[in-house]
Amino acid sequence: MKTGELRVASDAQLVVAIGRFRHDALSEVYRRHAAAAFGLARRIVGDRALAEEIVQEVFLRLWNAPDRFDAGRGSLRTYLLTQTHGRSVDVVRAEAARRTREERDARMTSEAGYDLEREVWDLTQAEHVRDALEHLSDGERTAIELAYFGGHTYREVAVLLGEPEGTVKSRIRSGLGRLRDALVDRGMAGPWRES
Partner 1 sequence: MARELSPRELEELLGPYALDAVDDDEREQVEQYLERNARARELVAEYRETAALLAHGGTEAPPYLWERIERTLGEEPPRLTIPPATTVVAPKSRRSALVRRVAVGVAAAATVLVVGALTVKVLQQEDRIDNLGREAKAGSVLAAAETAARDPLAAKVRLSSTDGSREARIVYLPNGEGFLLDDNLAPLPADRTYQLWALMSDAQGPRPISAGVLGSDPGVAAFRARGPVAGFAITEEQVPGVASSGNPAVVQGPVD
72 binds partner 1 (CB under 8 A): yes
144 binds partner 1 (CB under 8 A): yes
Count the neighbouring beta carbons within 10 Å of the beta carbon of residue 176. Answer: 16
Residue (60 or 109) nearer to partner 1, CB? 60
Q: Using CB atoms within 10 Å of the CB of residue 19, give its burial: 0 to 12 exposed, 13 to 18 middle, 19+ buried.
A: middle
- The number of residues in the chain equals 195
Taking CB under 8 A as the criterion, which residues in 167-186 touch partner 1? 168-170, 172-177, 179-180, 183
Q: Residues 103-142: x/- map of binding to partner 1 (CB under 8 A)? A: -------------x--xxxxx-----x-------------
Residue (110 or 124) nearer to partner 1, CB? 124
Angle among Cα 110, 54, 147 to the nearest 5 degrees reads 40
Nearest CA-CA partner of 16 in 4, 1, 27: 1
Q: Which amino acid is at 125?
A: Q
Applying CB under 8 A, among 3, 7, 12, 109 the residue interacting with partner 1 is 12
Nearest CA-CA partner of 195 in 99, 86, 70, 79: 70
Q: Which stretch binds partner 1 (CB under 8 A): 81-89, 94-102, 103-111?
A: 81-89
Residue (109 or 166) nearer to partner 1, CB? 166
Q: How far is CA 171 from the centre of its chain?
A: 19
Residues in binding contact with partner 1, number by CB under 8 A:
82
54 binds partner 1 (CB under 8 A): no
